[in-house]
């Protein structure tokens, strides 16, 4: 059985807002809410209607499924790329892919630093 509290909707909304580099006030303004009302949504001290949840998804440019399915294992990539037909393509970066990219970048930087050290020691 699923309970409202177990969905952690407020936590998910907060994380997605932060990933979008938006302040609480900015999101509240876009939703035509007071900052306090929006803060209550993130703090999960007030329940949220389906209509309001859909409006939040529209602000974040994500689907309801993406918002409800958001977890620490996936990071939303909200940088939109335009396709030929003008639709917006949003993707989800898998945590494993992100870690692999970070490790590859780290390895490249280590190699560059090793080369720099060799040049400095050769002087």
Helix (H) / strand (E) containing 91:
strand 88-94
Distance CA(81)–CA(48), nearest Å, equals 30
Average pLDDT over residues 49-77: 83
pLDDT of residue 30: 96
- The fourth-level CATH superfamily of domain 5-79+87-94 is lambda repressor-like DNA-binding domains (1.10.260.40)
Q: What is the pLDDT of residue 8?
A: 87
Q: Could you read off the pLDDT of 20-58 as tens digits, one per residue? A: 889 999 999 999 999 999 999 999 998 889 999 999 999
Using alpha carbons, select from 29, 73, 69, 67 the residue that is nearest to residue 48: 67
Composition of the chain by helix, strand, coil, percent to 5: 60, 15, 25
Task: Decide which of 87 and 14 is more confident.
Answer: 14
pLDDT at 83 over 90: no
How far apart CA 105 and CA 111 sit, in angstroms, is: 10
Q: Do 17 and 11 contact (CB within 8 A), yes or no?
A: no
Q: Could you tell me which residues come within 8 angstroms of residue 20 by beta carbon, excluding any fewer than 6 positions away?
A: 60, 78
Q: What is the pTM of this model?
A: 0.59
Q: Quote the pLDDT of residue 20.
A: 86
DSSP type of residue 87: -
């Amino acid at each position: 059985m699923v309970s409202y509290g177990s969905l952690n909707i407020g936590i998910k909304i907060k994380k997605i807002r932060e990933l979008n580099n938006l302040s609480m006030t900015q999101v509240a303004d876009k939703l035509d809410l007071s900052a306090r009302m929006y803060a209550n949504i993130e703090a999960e001290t007030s329940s949220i209607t389906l209509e309001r949840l859909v409006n939040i998804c529209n602000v974040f440019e994500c689907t309801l499924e993406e918002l409800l399915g958001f977890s620490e294992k996936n990071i939303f990539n909200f940088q939109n790329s335009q396709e030929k037909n003008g639709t917006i393509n949003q993707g989800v970066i898998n945590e494993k892919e992100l870690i692999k990219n970070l490790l590859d970048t780290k390895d490249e930087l280590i190699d560059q630093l090793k080369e720099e050290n060799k040049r400095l020691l050769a002087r």
